[in-house]
Amino acid sequence: MSNKLIDIVNVSKSYGENLVLNDLNLYIRENEFLTLLGPSGCGKTTLLRILGGFESPNTGKVIFDGIDITELAPNKRQLNTVFQKYALFPNMTIADNIAFGLKIKGKSKSYIEDKIRYALKLVNLDGFDLRMPDSLSGGQQQRIAIARAIVNEPKVLLLDEPLGALDLKLRQDMQYELIRLKNELGITFVYVTHDQEEALTMSDTIVVMNQGNIQQIGTPEDIYNEPQNAFVADFIGESNIFSAIMVEDKLVKIQGVKFPCVDTGFGKNKPVDAVIRPEDVDLVKPKKGLMQGIVTSLIFKGVHYEMDVMANGYEWLVHSTDMFPVGTEVGIKVDPFDIQIMKKPESEDAEAVSIEE
Amino acid sequence: MKNKDRKVKRLLAGPYVIWAVGFIIIPLLMIFYYGLTDKEGYFTFINLAKITTPENLKSLGLALLLSLISTVICLILAYPLCMVLSNLKVNKSSFIVLIFILPMWMNFLLRTLAWQNLLERNGIINIVLGFFHLPALEIINTPYAIILGMVYDFLPFMVLPIYNVLSKIDKDLIAAARDLGANSVQTFLRIILPLSVPGIISGVTMVFVPALTTFVISDLLGGSKILLIGNVIEQEFKQGSNWNAGSGMSLVLMIFIIFSMALIAKYDKDGEGTAF
């Protein structure tokens, strides 16, 4: 793997009594698309602002390319930020906006003109040079904000929920656009979002954060398939989370019924959290299932049906292409490798919280 | 249905129409009438020409000079203050703004009279200075006292619009400029200053126009020695009972103001400066 470009060492930040970042350690590799993912108030934006130089941590260091930049002013850093609300300068044309950083650096006129043309082409907005920012749509303004940042050839691009204000269709288009940009430019992206789908689509590495703590670091596949705790499982995608008992290796008791699984090493009769993704629940004839239940709701979702199945006092969320009408008695079966066993959280920080989305 | 709506709307506009006609249009027409006629009611330009007598020209020039100086001083005082205020937390800054605005809630005449008392030869300031064996301050009845009065009376009108426009600037814009490599001076010159131009224009207008036409401040703080164009017009109306000459010169002054407004409007794309 490529080198560490940014190293965040023991960074803490609090505003008064309110601890926003709790002794955080994280490194970012060169050429990586790293996403900080978490609910609002988890500290992800604060961490990004510390990287950009707009906040300084109470304790800890930020190492950039081997040099401590913790106290370096934002204008001296080799990274650029794309702000959530674009922050285009309303008193300048698009061309002047893009040229801003280059003019400050005293680049030659022809160099600047070339760069403007190149950047506008890159974000598919040729010919917008002389327009004013407020005559552009949100998506166009966002792309100009990106163009304005990348003409400075930063080593790292920081993006603070850049797609948050766009509508769904545009957001999806921009996701592909961003991936393309990153591949074309070959620079590191640090991306902040609360949208798990965005994070899964674009990232090389996802850092799940909650209440100032890192919950899990991993590839999108890791995060989705093997959440390390109930918070991550709940935040990424939909899931059924059970308070379960690990009876012995490879056997877990969920809602009073023993399910074979593949996890080992939790000890005997230990309380654990068990996660089963809705698409991993198989509905079969009542007698063939490990547990019996009754379908209580059925919604057509396009690709699949979403069903709620009441069984042993728990409402299971099930995604399936097979349809079972409300009131049908069904059996529930789960393949052993589809059950994800996790340690119970030790602190309240890692507790699963309900997410308001 | 639509017709009825329109009728109701027209009815609601009634009071404003009456106001505009009765208190704006008719008085203006009367000024025009008096300004362009002589005592017998015959059409003439002689009243407008009155401004060209040497003493009246001097009054106009002095009024222009003093109001210009006062405006510049107000701007120099207000801008840094507003910069500081706009970076404070909202409760704190609105409290300090309130302190600056507070004098506006007291009678304007009263405040000017207070300055007269403070600055007098045997006024409070000189008593205090004398107590410390310091030389007495002798600025009453000089142009300096008039400038002081103008600055004191009109400063809030400069503070408010500039503060408003500065506090509305998105903090992200400043962060973005810094992020793109600008130091704080460059950020100020390229982002903050250009974005605050509408507020500056608004403030300049609201200070310059009343300062140019005032006669109370020059009357009270300038003694009767220093005549500004406002005083000349006032005397024509009150002492000379010459409404025609007074109106004529008012018209000329109005032209001056319209001209400066037009000049300002040229640089004010957002139209906030015309708020006065």
CA–CA min distance B226, chain A (Å)? 44
Residue B48's pLDDT is what? 85
Reading the block at residue A199, the tokens are 């994070």
Q: Within this chain, do residues A117 and A221 fall inside the same structural domain, yes or no? A: yes
Inspect the interface and report whether the beta carbons of A100 and B179 lie closer than 8 Å: no
Residue B180 domain boundaries:
54-275
pLDDT of residue A321: 92
Give the CATH number, domain containing residue B203: 1.10.3720.10
Please answer whether residues B256 and B56 qualify as being in contact, where contact means their C-beta atoms are separated by less than 8 angstroms: no
Q: What is the pLDDT of residue A349?
A: 47
A288 falls within a domain:
yes
A100 to B172: CB separation less than 8 angstroms, yes or no: no
What confidence score (pLDDT) does residue B1 get?
A: 56
Indicate if A71 and A201 belong to the same structural domain.
yes
Phi and psi for B13 in degrees, rounded to 5? -75, -15
- Domain-embedded: residue A352: no
For residues A264 and A52, give the distance between their C-alpha atoms in angstroms, rounded to a whole number.
43
* Closest CB from B172, B175, B180 relative to A100: B180
A90 and A139 part of one domain:
yes
d(CA A148, CA A99): 7
- The residue to which tokens 């008992």 are assigned: A245
In total, the C-beta contacts within 8 angstroms joining chain A to chain B are 60
pLDDT at residue number B237: 87
- Across B195-227, b (16+ Cβ under 10 Å) vs e yields bbbbbbbbbbbbbbbbbbbbbbbbbbbbeeebb
Q: pLDDT tens per residue, chain A (357 residues)?
A: 468 899 999 999 999 888 999 999 999 999 999 999 999 889 999 999 999 999 999 999 999 999 999 999 999 999 999 998 899 999 999 999 999 999 999 999 999 999 999 999 988 899 999 999 999 998 899 999 999 999 999 999 999 998 887 888 888 888 988 898 898 888 999 999 999 989 999 999 999 999 999 999 999 999 998 898 889 998 988 889 999 999 999 999 999 999 999 988 888 898 999 999 999 999 999 999 999 999 999 999 989 999 999 998 899 999 999 999 999 999 999 999 999 998 887 655 444 444 333
- pLDDT for residue B273 is more than 50: no
A318-327 in b/e form (b: 16+ CB < 10 A) is bbeeeebeee
Does B181 sit within 8 Å of A149, measured CB to CB?
Answer: no
- Cα gap B175→A75, rounded to integer Å: 9
Task: Please judge whether B182 and A90 are an interchain contact, meaning their C-beta atoms are less than 8 angstroms apart.
Answer: no
Q: Is residue B61 part of a domain?
A: yes
pLDDT at B2 over 60: yes
Task: Look at residue B19 and tell me if it is in a domain.
Answer: no
* Residue where a domain stops, chosen among A225, A249, A273: A225
Q: What's the pLDDT at A185?
A: 87
Q: Which residue of A has its CA nearest to B172?
A: A87
Tell me if B123 is assigned to some domain. Answer: yes
Residue A54: give its domain's CATH number. Answer: 3.40.50.300
**Res B208 pLDDT > 60:** yes
Q: For residue A340, what is the domain's CATH number?
A: 2.40.50.140
Q: Which residues of A touch B195 (CB under 8 A)?
A: 90-91
Report the C-alpha dihedral over residues A14, A20, A23, A28, rounded to 10 degrees: -120
Q: Is B190 on the interface with A (CB under 8 A)?
A: yes
The reply to whether residue B180 touches residue A75, judged by beta carbons under 8 angstroms, is yes
pLDDT for A356 equals 35
Give Cβ neighbours of residue A321 (< 8 Å, ≥ 6 apart).
A303, A304, A305
Q: Which member of A75, A85, A105 has the closest CB to residue B178?
A: A75
Q: Measured between alpha carbons, how far is residue A181 from residues A169, A189, A284 in Å?
A: 18, 10, 46
In a domain, B187, yes or no: yes
Measured in whole angstroms, the distance separating CA B51 from the mean position of its chain's CA atoms is 22
Asked if residue A315 is part of any domain, the answer here is yes
Q: What residue of A is the nearest CA neighbor of B182?
A: A75
> Which residues 6+ apart lie within 8 Å of A284 measured at CB?
A330, A331, A332, A333
In a shared domain, residues A271 and A130: no
ipTM of the predicted structure? 0.80
- Could you give the number of structural domains in chain A? 2
**Type of residue at A241:** I
- CB-based burial label for B258 (10 Å; 0-12, 13-18, 19+): exposed
> Residue A307 falls within a domain, yes or no?
yes
How high is the pLDDT of residue A220? 95
Read off the pLDDT of each residue in B221-227 and give the average, rounded to a whole number: 82
- Predicted TM-score of the model (pTM): 0.78
Q: How far does B184 lie from chain A, in Å, by closest CA?
A: 9
Residue-level pLDDT at A350: 44
Q: What is the dihedral of CA A173, A174, A179, A184, to 10 degrees?
A: 110
Q: How far is A52 from chain B (nearest CA, A)?
A: 7
Question: Per the structure block, which two tokens stand in for B137?
Answer: 């301050």
Q: Is there a single domain that holds both residue A173 and residue A260?
A: no
A116 within some domain: yes
- Same-domain check for residues A176 and A33: yes
Same domain? A160 vs A307: no
- End position of a domain, from candidates A225, A258, A280: A225
- Enumerate residues 6+ apart whose C-beta is below 8 A from A184: A122
Q: How far is CA B244 from the centre of its chain?
A: 26
Q: How far apart are CA B231 and CA A310, in angstroms?
A: 91
Instruction: Assess if residue B33 is contained within a domain.
Output: no
Residue B190: its chain A contacts at CB < 8 A?
100
Which run of H or of E encompasses A305? strand A305-311
Q: In sequence order, what DSSP letters do the residues of B64-78 get, joined into one string?
A: HHHHHHHHHHHHHHH
Identify the domain containing residue A253 by its residue range: 238-344
Contact criterion met (CB < 8 Å) for B176 and A54: no
Contact A74 B178 (CB under 8 A): yes
The count of structural domains within chain B is 1
Using the Cβ of B166 and the Cβ atoms of chain A, whether some distance falls under 8 Å is answered with no
Same domain, A81 and A191: yes
User: What residues of A are in contact with residue B198 (Cβ under 8 Å)?
Assistant: none
Q: Quick one: average pLDDT of B7-15?
A: 86
What is the DSSP pairing of strand A251-254 with strand A257-260?
Answer: antiparallel
CB atoms B175 and A149 under 8 Å: no
Give the chain B residue whose CA is nearest to the CA of A90: B195
Using a 10 angstrom Cβ sphere, with 0-12 exposed, 13-18 middle and 19 or more buried, the burial of residue B78 is buried
In a domain, A355, yes or no: no
> Which site among B89, B180, B190, B193 would you substitute to test the A interface, given the most A Cβ atoms closer than 10 Å to its Cβ?
B180
Q: Which residues is A259 bridged to in the sheet?
A: A252
* pLDDT reported for residue B92: 81
Bridge partners, residue A272, by sequence: A244, A343
Domain shared by A251 and A208, yes or no? no
The answer to whether residue A357 sits within a structural domain is: no
Q: How far is A195 from chain B (nearest CA, A)?
A: 22
- Kindly identify which residue of chain A lies nearest to residue B181, measuring between CA atoms: A75
- Give the containing element (helix H, strand E) for A39: none
The residue to which tokens 């220093």 are assigned: B226
Residue among B169, B179, B183, B184 with most chain A CBs within 10 A, to mutate: B179
Percentage of chain B modeled with pLDDT above 70: 96
Is A18 a member of any domain? Answer: yes
Q: Does the structure show a pLDDT above 50 at B275?
A: no
Chain B residues lying within 8 Å of A53, measured CB to CB? 178-179
Q: Which of A87, A90, A101 sits opposite B181 (nearest CB)?
A: A101
- Domain check: are A265 and A149 in the same one? no
**Residue B180: closest CA among chain A residues belongs to which residue?**
A101
User: Is residue B1 assigned to a domain?
Assistant: no
- Cβ pair B175:A52 closer than 8 A: yes
State whether A100 and B178 contact (CB < 8 Å).
Answer: no
Same structural domain, A167 and A209: yes
Domain-embedded: residue B24: no
